[in-house]
Structures are given as C-alpha cells and as structure tokens.
Amino acid sequence: MQLALCTWPEVDAYLTRSKGVIVPVGSTEQHGPTGLIGTDTISAELIARRAGDAADILVAPAFPVGVALHHMGFAGSMSLRPETFIAAIRDWATSLDRHGFRRIYFFNGHGGNIAPLKAAVKEISAELNPGRTDEDRLECKVHSWWQFEGVHMLCQTLYPEGHGSHATPSEVAITQYAYPDSIKSAPLEPRIAATGHFSGPQDYRAKFPDGRIGSDPLLANPADGEKLVDAAVAGLIVDYQRFIRV
C-alpha cells in the first residue's frame, strides 16, 4: 500500500488498524560503470513496496538523496550534507507523527545513511516524546536491506567471491530485476575491484578509479535480483511486524 496512491480518507482508515509505516531511504550516487545512479533508492523502494503489498503495510515515498559526499568525485552523484539530511528526516517523521503514526521503520538502501539516520532518530525521539505516555510514544527503527540474515546468506551463496562493498553484484542484480530495460554492460578491469579505506571524494576516486570497491558486478543477473528481493521482503515483513508490536 503506497501512501502516494492513497487518498486521505484511506490513510485515516489505515490508522484505525495500524500506527506503522515504512519509509524507504535511498541515495543518488555512482555505482561503478555498470550500476545505476539510483541503485540504493530503487532497491529500498522496491523491497518496501513488495512487503507493503504483501502484508498491508503503508509505504511512504522513498527519500531519494542521502549522504553520499564520498561519491561526489563521479558525475551524477548527489548528496545532502548530514545536517540537511537529519533535518529533512526529522520533518518527514514529524509530519507522519502529527497524523498519529507511532512506528516509523526507516528502510535503508545506502551504508552512508546509517549514521545520520540513527542520529536523526535520536533527535526525533528527544523532540517529540517528552511528556508522552508510553502508549503514545513515537518509536523509529533503522534497518538496511542487506542486513537480514536470509539476504546475507544468499549473497554469500550467490557471490562467494567478488561481492565487495560498493557496486556489489547483489545491489546491481536487484536493479536489473527491477528495470530489465536498463541493464548496462562495460568492460571491468580488474574484474574484482580493489578494497581498502579512503578519506573524502578525491581519495576515493584516486583509489577506486571506476567507483567500485571490492566487487565484480558483472556477476549480477535479474534472476539473482528476484531471489534477493524475495529474501529481503520476507525479512522485512517479519522484522517490521516485530517492531510495530514493541
């Protein structure tokens, strides 16, 4: 159930049976020569919508631009500053809270969003919860799609080598499944990208010149993407339902 496709009376009716909502949180950033700029938003949004349709969960619009300052050395990447991101997430949560939502599950698709999302959740709680009864408290959760046990195990099985940590075959596979008309190909040299640490966008580009870290995204295919989405949807439904009972 997508918020954008509901009317306000439908949202009113939903609130009589649930106080929970999923907010997919993505990013707009380079994902190597074969990965889509929108990978992280596409992944979080698709999995959230599938879970929402399967389990009668309201899904808010996807938050499309995250904190991706380290990707700014590559064309097309966009980033919010952490303080802007936190302020915007606070405003989204405050809006939902005002209508009676009391469980907001931030379903994340980008590693760089985790720290600012957790900071935002602390601010939201400090701002909205003082003076409220336990029953009326707003609770927020932050979870990323690759953190579910079933997804983690599937990634290890599908990609025992070359999974890496950025422009991974798993995230690329999900976008290939979501948008089969936008599957890209390019020669990758070396096939498995280097791994390591970096500091800032210039150093990132110098150390990882095509944008990948540790990955071989040519391993990706749409069938893998479907399996990964199914595993993530199953994980999300269970975790969300546990969360809203808190």
Instruction: Give the list of residues 6+ apart from residue 223 with CB closer than 8 angstroms, or none.
Output: 177
Nearer to Ni ion (CB atom), residue 43 or residue 236: 43
Nearer to Ni ion (CB atom), residue 40 or residue 216: 40
Query: Whole-number minimum distance, CB 1 to Ni ion, in Å?
Result: 26
Judge whether 235 and 152 are in contact, CB under 8 Å: no
Nearer to Ni ion (CB atom), residue 141 or residue 166: 166
Query: Whole-number minimum distance, CB 106 to Ni ion, in Å?
Result: 16
Query: Where along the sequence are the contacts to Ni ion (CB under 5 A)?
Result: 39-40, 171
Residues facing residue 10 across a β-bridge: none
Helices (H), 56-194: 82-98, 114-128, 149-158, 169-178
Nearer to Ni ion (CB atom), residue 20 or residue 116: 116
CA distance 6 to 230: 25
Judge whether 55 and 237 are in contact, CB under 8 Å: yes
CA distance 242 to 148: 14
Q: Closest residue to Ni ion, Cβ-based?
A: 40
Query: Whole-number minimum distance, CB 39 to Ni ion, in Å?
Result: 5
For the sheet with 139-144, list strands across it.
58-59, 20-25, 103-108, 139-144
Query: Whole-number minimum distance, CB 52 to Ni ion, in Å?
Result: 21
Dihedral pair phi/psi, residue 20, rounded to 5°: -105, 150
Nearer to Ni ion (CB atom), residue 20 or residue 169: 169
Query: Whole-number minimum distance, CB 124 to Ni ion, in Å?
Result: 25
